[in-house]
Structure 1
Amino acid sequence: MLYIMRHGKTQWNKEQKLQGQIDIPLIEEGRQAAITAREKNKDLHFDVCYASPLLRAKETAELFLEGTDTPIIYDDRLKEMSFGEYEGSLGYFDDPKNPVNVLFVRPEAYVPTGSAESLEKLSERSKSFLDEIVYPQVKEDPHKNILIVAHGALGCSLISHIKKTPLEHFWDNLIGNCELVRLL
Structure 2
Amino acid sequence: MLYIMRHGKTEWNALHKIQGRTDIPLNEEGRLMAEKAWEEYKDLHIDVCYCSPLIRAVETAQIVLKTRKIPIIKDERLMEMSFGDYEGIENSFAIPDCPINILFQKPGEYHESIGGAETWEELFARTGAFLKEVIDPQLQEGKDILIVGHGAMNASIICQVKGMPIEEFWSAGLEQCKILEV
Q: TM-score range by the shorter chain?
A: over 0.9
Corresponding residue of 2:167: 168
1:21-100 aligned at under 5 Å gives the runs: 21-100=21-100
**C-alpha separation between the residues in 2 aligned to 1:17 and 1:167?**
23
Residue 20 of structure 1 deviates from its aligned partner by 0.2
State whether residues 84 and 115 of structure 1, in contact with CA within 8 Å, keep that contact through their aligned partners in structure 2: yes
- Measured in 2, the distance between the counterparts of 1:156 and 1:93 equals 20
Q: Alpha-carbon deviation of 1:93?
A: 2.9
Residue 15 of structure 1 aligns with which residue?
15
- Structure 2 CA distance for aligned equivalents of residues 167 and 174 of structure 1: 14
Instruction: Give the C-alpha shift of residue 94 in structure 1.
Output: 4.0
d(CA) in 2 for partners of 1:117, 1:146 = 26
Per the alignment, residue 136 of structure 1 pairs with 137
Cα shift at 1:89: 0.2
Q: Distance in 2 between matches of 1:106 and 1:152?
A: 16
Percent identity, aligned pairs only, is 51
Residues 19-64 of structure 1 show CA distances to partners (whole Å, capped at 9, x for unaligned) of 0000000001100111101101121121100000000000000000
Q: CA deviation at 1:174?
A: 3.0
Distance 2:94 2:132 in 1: 35
Using the alignment, how far apart are the partners of 1:93 and 1:106 within structure 2? 12
Q: How does 1:172-183 map to 2 (within 5 A)?
A: 172-183=171-182
Structure 2 CA distance for aligned equivalents of residues 102 and 125 of structure 1: 22
CA–CA distance in 2 between the matches of 1:125 and 1:173?
20
Q: 1:167 Cα deviation (Å)?
A: 0.6
> In 2, distance between residues paired with 1:34 and 1:109?
35
- After TM superposition, the runs of 4+ consecutive aligned structure 1 residues lying more than 6 A away are none
After the TM superposition, which of the residue ranges 16-25 and 33-42 deviates more from structure 2? 33-42
Superposition CA RMSD, Å = 0.9
1:6 aligns with 2:6: yes
Q: CA offset at residue 115 of structure 1?
A: 1.7
> Do structure 1's residue 123 and structure 2's residue 124 form an aligned pair?
yes
Q: Kindly state the Cα deviation for residue 147 of structure 1 after the two structures are TM-superposed.
A: 0.5
Are 2:139 and 1:145 aligned? no
Displacement of 1:96 after TM fit?
Answer: 3.3
What TM-score, normalized by structure 1, do the two folds share?
Answer: 0.96
Distance 2:82 2:89 in 1: 13
Scaled by the length of structure 2, the TM-score of the pair is: 0.97
Q: Which runs of 5+ in 1 are unaligned?
A: none
- Which ranges in structure 2 are unaligned for 5 or more consecutive residues? none
Please give the alpha-carbon distance, in whole angstroms, between the structure 2 residues aligned to 1:78 and 1:26.
17
Q: Distance in 1 between matches of 2:113 and 2:94?
A: 18
| Secondary structure in structure 2 of the residue aligned to 1:22 | coil
Per the TM alignment, residue 125 of structure 1 is displaced from its structure 2 partner at its CA by 1.0
Verify the 8 A CA contact 2:86 2:115 in the aligned structure 1. Answer: no
Q: What is the alpha-carbon distance in structure 2 between the residues aligned to residue 123 and residue 95 of structure 1?
A: 28
